[in-house]
Amino acid sequence: MAEAVMRPLTSRERMQGQTEDGRSMKVVAGEFIKPNKRLTSFERLEIYNRQYWFRLVDCLSEDYPGLRAILGDRKFLTLAEAYLQACPSRSFTLRNLGRGLEGFLQEHPDLTAPRTGPCVDMARLEWAHVEAFDSEARTPLRVEDLKGKSPARIRLRLQPHIQLLTLDYPVDSLVLSVKRDQGLRGDASHTMPGGRSRVRSRIARMLRPEPIRLVVHRWDHVVYYKRIDPLQFQLLEGLRSGFSLQGACDAVLTDAPETLVPEVVQGWFRDGSAMGWFCRRSRG
């Protein structure tokens, strides 16, 4: 039954009439589902088949509104169906449905051409949003916790929910626009002449190459995106890798521009602490 329910629908969004080995689905359905007064065995099984696919496609649409805005509804649907066939749900929760989407896009660039680069970045960002939304948050580190300790012995820990992304396109701006007012998707379906072309132009302007460093983090149950300086990003990566505070700072300050004075680095830590990025390091 699971195999039948998880089979893709036809182009008319109905259950396929044959199994992969060529048997009649009506015959197969009758082997494990009884008909009733109103529906045949095939029709009863088709209800579950359609519900399964509609729910999974809806889930991907909800989790990846930015990717859908880039591709458009039809192309996104084609991508979603191809992905779900190659990477069917194996988890008890739909939260994990898009875990393999970034890798799938890299392996199948034809599904997103000519915007494969922005699409891969968007998939990374929107999966990072999922991770940041419900990953663990630990007790934030306080200044008092560091008093009297040598920088060489301090090892700061980043909150588990923090995601550090290196992106080639400013996809954060696009996804925030989509989530703010659904403007791009609303305009795309507008019936006024030229509406779709205006949206395509707007998306193209927002997806010009622009390398960025992004922190995706959660504060007070809300996910935020914050662009940061590449050196600040390097510092956070060093801390996440287990460097001491002194070691991470030394790695950044070595060969750094003269404008990077200690006061700037102190400002980075001050801002990060205010947003709760650092937590107490567990023992053991």
In tens digits, what is the pLDDT along the chain, a chain of 284 residues?
888 999 999 989 999 999 989 999 999 999 999 999 999 999 999 999 999 999 999 999 999 999 999 999 999 999 999 999 999 988 999 999 999 999 999 999 999 999 999 999 999 999 999 999 999 999 888 766 777 677 777 788 999 999 999 999 999 999 998 887 564 444 444 433 444 566 677 787 888 999 999 999 999 899 999 999 999 999 999 999 988 888 888 888 887 777 777 788 888 888 998 899 998 665 54
224 closest CA partner among 125, 122, 95, 139: 125
User: Are 58 and 147 in a shared domain?
Assistant: no
User: Domain containing 36: what range?
Assistant: 1-62
C-alpha 118/C-alpha 112 separation (Å) is: 9
165, containing H or E segment: strand 163-167
C-alpha 96/C-alpha 99 separation (Å) is: 5
Residue 267 lies in a domain: yes
Could you give the residue ranges of the DSSP H alpha helices within 34-155? 41-63, 65-71, 73-86, 101-107, 116-134
Residue 116 lies in a domain: no
Residue 228 lies in a domain: yes
User: Are 58 and 143 in a shared domain?
Assistant: no
Residue 227 lies in a domain: yes
pLDDT value for 168: 97
User: Are 16 and 148 in a shared domain?
Assistant: no
pLDDT value for 261: 75
Sort 270 into a burial class: Cβ within 10 Å, 0-12 / 13-18 / 19+: exposed
Last residue of a domain, one of 28, 45, 62: 62
User: Are 154 and 255 in a shared domain?
Assistant: yes
pLDDT value for 184: 42
pLDDT value for 256: 78
- Measured between its terminal Cα atoms, the distance across the chain in Å is 47
Last residue of a domain, one of 16, 39, 62: 62
pLDDT value for 142: 75
Last residue of a domain, one of 9, 37, 62: 62
User: Are 233 and 148 in a shared domain?
Assistant: yes
Amino acid at 73: D
C-alpha 279/C-alpha 126 separation (Å) is: 24
Residue 183 lies in a domain: no
* Sign of the alpha-carbon dihedral angle for 5, 99, 179, 135: positive
C-alpha 13/C-alpha 52 separation (Å) is: 12
User: Are 9 and 146 in a shared domain?
Assistant: no
C-alpha 6/C-alpha 50 separation (Å) is: 9
Both tokens of 197, joined, read 């072309």
User: Are 156 and 272 in a shared domain?
Assistant: yes
Residue 69 lies in a domain: no
pLDDT value for 36: 95
pLDDT value for 196: 58
User: Are 143 and 283 in a shared domain?
Assistant: yes
C-alpha 200/C-alpha 191 separation (Å) is: 15
* Sign of the alpha-carbon dihedral angle for 163, 166, 171, 172: positive
Domain count, the chain: 2
Residue 19 lies in a domain: yes
pLDDT value for 284: 41
